[in-house]
Structure 1
């Protein structure tokens, strides 16, 4: 149907038309509030392409379709991160181009612009962030190829940008951490939160989701079964990152004693109440404050998790145990992430093997040596 002037809103246009949805049912659609007839007709065209998932539809419209589908399969925080990247880093550059007309040179140009851009004065995007953004565009086109018949993914020929891992992993030694915690000891909830992060390796969202019911001080454990995020002004509790992230973490006695004292200070705390009722922003502020006062180098909040892993490696624990404590889905994840922290352990292995041999007094002699021809 053609677009018409809206009789109820002077100066505005509306469009109304029939379409067939994915079930085969015929339905009527009506949309008002357009400034021009052209805008109304263009919206109708894009809506119909969306229903057919026609690859001549604009990239921006296909992003909406993709996110709507993935919304049933991803955690709310993951979906929100995807939406943020698409809206700010991809749609402004490629959003008006039809999906089937985005070429590898288009992708290369987009990459070059992002690599040259500054998110703050004098500061360009990090290689790991560029890689993350590039992965989102690649995922979008992979989805179009797999489910909607797009002939090829232009990102594959264009190549990637950025790096998967940061060049240097940041972490604190135990000495550095102890200096830092003294600087935040004036705020009990900050002190206790950082103690748990450093000595358990929990993710930030896992820490902030902890409730009184998750803490068993008699057994000396905390149970991780959920994650907290603040999204669009609302508190969101979701399952943890992976199935293996559901875990029970054992606590040392000194940490149980400190946690018991901290919980005793929380007035009328119910079992379902969060024991750290703050957001990630609060912890980031406290991290900056503690580093400034103590003089300890600034690291990210997530690097406290790396610090815990580094501590366990230094204490000689196995990759399998570390993977279970951190909630990694596979032990390979632990090995790949922290492989650079293990090399010096090879010298310890050699030294211990040498010690065993020396204690034995002599090398092993075969009773029936094989004759050489």
Structure 2
């Protein structure tokens, strides 16, 4: 605890000395002098609030001062931009997205002084409280002061906040690991983030088999129907399925397969063409997917007489499917027609991948096998996203518990304790 000593001066006035042990018992004595008692009391509370340490930003004898232009403590935005520019193993579009997250979202990160004054964030002055304040601002959004019905920044969903916080964590960790070190601790390490499942509406839509058939029946284009059946039957991502080439399929083996080796990637804005072929989303995205006999027959029909580099799935009038065209001209009208006839769901194209997983889980396929088929980098991703669907084993689980508890332990000598 800090204390205040009043010291009389020869002219009849007094000064007030705040004294405390730095960090508490065992620390060295520290002190600061004030000309009035109220200021001394305010400073005493600040010291105690900071764990008996000098308040951050306070300079002895001067009070809170603006940070100097310190080359060893660069502005956060400058450091973040350099960090992203130096990243390896990412494509240009991902780099552009990271820069946008910094400009649009992380730019609102600021350092709040103990006196309530906000300072521009630097690598060294960002605290855990500053990060939590930023998370709350992301959750709340910002209304237009001139028109409360409009947003200057809309509230961010929990998943987006987690993704942006992950980028912030990596930037700050780079500062911790820099040579020379720019800070000693990552302020993002203990951030309490909003739960992704706080929203009532589920992001994923799962179709029953008859529900999918109601949509498929509305797709009159054979090439589009082939692709839709493939997406729901293999669980491939759109960018993987539409990038599949003739050379990637093996149809004469005991178990026919499709080798996922590439996927469509979006190019940076302004670059033509807008999409290009690159590696799958994750390292484990490169995988071999087993095909059913019906799937093999469909592929055989599509690839007969085609060169190795030809796309397996292609519209009659083009070389490759374009997502926007397929969605607007094939998928969206089919879903709308099915809804008009009573379909109770409005699935996206990507929900065909989710539906594929739901069907596998209903057939009691183990989650590790599903992970490998989907190309998830981690089994945790599979469990987090689809583990709640594993309910068909409830009876087996309860039966196993009943069997284990079937032979009761000796109960002689037990007595009630209350």
Question: Would the aligned equivalents of 2:127 and 2:187 in 1 still touch at CA under 8 Å?
Answer: yes
Where in structure 2 are the equivalents of 1:171-210 lying within 5 Å?
A: 171-183=206-218, 185-210=219-244
Residue 68 (1) aligns with residue 85 (2): yes
Q: Please say if residues 197 and 207 of structure 1, whose CA atoms lie closer than 8 Å, have aligned partners that are also in contact.
A: yes
Structure 1 residues 303, 63: CA separation in 2 closer, same or farther (over 3 Å shift)?
same
1:163 corresponds to which of 182, 191, 196: 196
Aligned match of 1:140 in 156, 159, 171? 171
Q: Counterparts of 1:83 and 1:280 in 2: how far apart (Å)?
A: 25
Structure exhibiting the larger radius of gyration computed from Cα positions:
2
Query: Is it true that 1:310 corresponds to 2:358 in the alignment?
Result: yes
Identify which of 297, 311, 336 aligns with 1:292: 336
Matched, 1:223 2:266: no
CA gap of 1:271–1:151, structure 2 versus 1, over 3 A, is same
| Kept in 1: contact 2:108–2:134 (CA 8 A) | no
Partner of 2:13: none
**Partner SS for 1:101:** coil
Give the Cα separation in 2 of the matches to 1:307 and 1:337: 12
SS at match of 2:217: helix
Give 1:273's aligned residue: 310
User: Cα–Cα, structure 1 residues 77 and 313, in superposed 2: closer, same or farther, change >3 Å?
Assistant: farther
DSSP-derived class of the 1:114 partner: helix
1:63-102 pair list within 5 angstroms: 63-70=80-87, 72-91=88-107, 97-102=121-126
C-alpha offsets along residues 159-210 of structure 1, whole Å, 9 cap, x if unaligned?
A: 3345279763432121211111222x22334322221111111122212321
How is 1:44-55 mapped onto 2 (pairs within 5 angstroms)?
54-55=71-72
- d(CA) in 2 for partners of 1:56, 1:84: 23
Contact between 2:74 and 2:123, CA under 8 Å: does it hold in 1? yes
Unpaired segments of 5 or more residues in structure 2? 1-68, 111-118, 144-148, 315-319, 413-418
When residues 155 and 332 of structure 1 are mapped into structure 2, their CA distance, relative to the original with a 3 A threshold, is: closer
After superposition, where does 1:11-26 map in structure 2 within 5 Å?
Answer: none
Question: Aligned partners of 1:124, 1:278: CA distance in 2, in Å?
Answer: 34
* More contact order relative to length (CA 8 Å, sep ≥ 6): 1
* Equivalent residue pairs, number: 304
1:311 is displaced (CA, Å) by 0.4
Q: Are the equivalent residues in 2 in contact too, given 1:130–1:163 (CA < 8 A)?
A: no
TM-score, scaled relative to structure 2: 0.62
Q: Helix, strand or coil for the counterpart of 1:237?
A: strand
Residue aligning to 2:293: 253
Q: 1:151 to 1:200 in 2, by over 3 A?
A: same
Q: Shift in Å at residue 304 of structure 1?
A: 2.1
The residue number in structure 2 matching 1:20 is none
